Amino acid sequence: MPQSRDSGRTAASAAGDTTRERVLTAAMEEFAAHGIAGARVDRIAKLARTSKERVYAYFRSKDALYADVAAREYLVIAEATQMDPYDLPGYAGRLFDYFVARPDHHRLIAWGRLELPGAAADADDPAQAVIARKIDQLRQVQQAGQLDPAWDPADVLALVNQIAMTWASQPELSEAAAAHAVDPTTAARRAAVVTAVEQLFPRAR
């Protein structure tokens, strides 16, 4: 039976979507390893089993490709760690766990902060939407009397994130801790993160 035009377009669209996903997966690996300036589109294309021209057909530039990869990663992190504004120590522990398991994902985000400082975010930037939602959640918990209102909720989020990623952002200290800490285990580092956040922003009772 001859294939209909609609089914032909559907198959072509599905193939295009699959190729685009392969490009994004390959780009994630390339950017995490080499940063934005050091990444090579030809290597991304080879890993994605497509052509360099095809990559540029999906993404107008290497920076645009990085922005797409990073935006997706922010959403993945938010979904995987699920901030509970009533339990910020628990949230910090989940962030710690996420980046311990995926140090390459932390490198991906870090490269963007280093190489694209002050870059203006798009109005529909999903990372900014996630941040705004978390700040609003924290403000609501303050209004409910479950979080110290003396803190600006933006500062609360920034401090919790920074504490949670202390070890991911300082691998040299992780090596030192493994050699010199009283308890060299990852569990001890996690416990320190959770305790620090608990002391600043206790769980709601």
d(CA 100, CA 94): 10
Q: What is the pLDDT of residues 27-55, one digit of tens each?
A: 999 999 999 999 999 999 999 999 999 99
Q: Residue 80: which pLDDT band, with cuts at 50, 70 and 90?
A: very high
Q: Mention every residue, 6+ apart, whose C-beta is less than 8 A from residue 140.
A: 85
Q: Residue 133: which pLDDT band, with cuts at 50, 70 and 90?
A: very high
Query: What's the average model confidence in pLDDT over 92-113?
Result: 92
Q: Which residue has the higher pLDDT, 3 or 21?
A: 21
DSSP-derived secondary structure for 7-69 = HHHHHHHHHHHHHHHHHHHHHHHHHHHHHHHH--HHHHHHHTTS-HHHHHHH-SSHHHHHHHH
d(CA 153, CA 101): 28
Query: What percentage of the chain carries pLDDT values higher than 70?
Result: 89
Q: Is 192 exposed, middle or buried (0-12, 13-18, 19+ CB in 10 A)?
A: middle
Q: What is the pLDDT of residues 163-173, one digit of tens each?
A: 999 999 888 88
pTM above 0.85, yes or no: no
Q: What is the pLDDT of residues 118-129, one digit of tens each?
A: 665 666 777 888
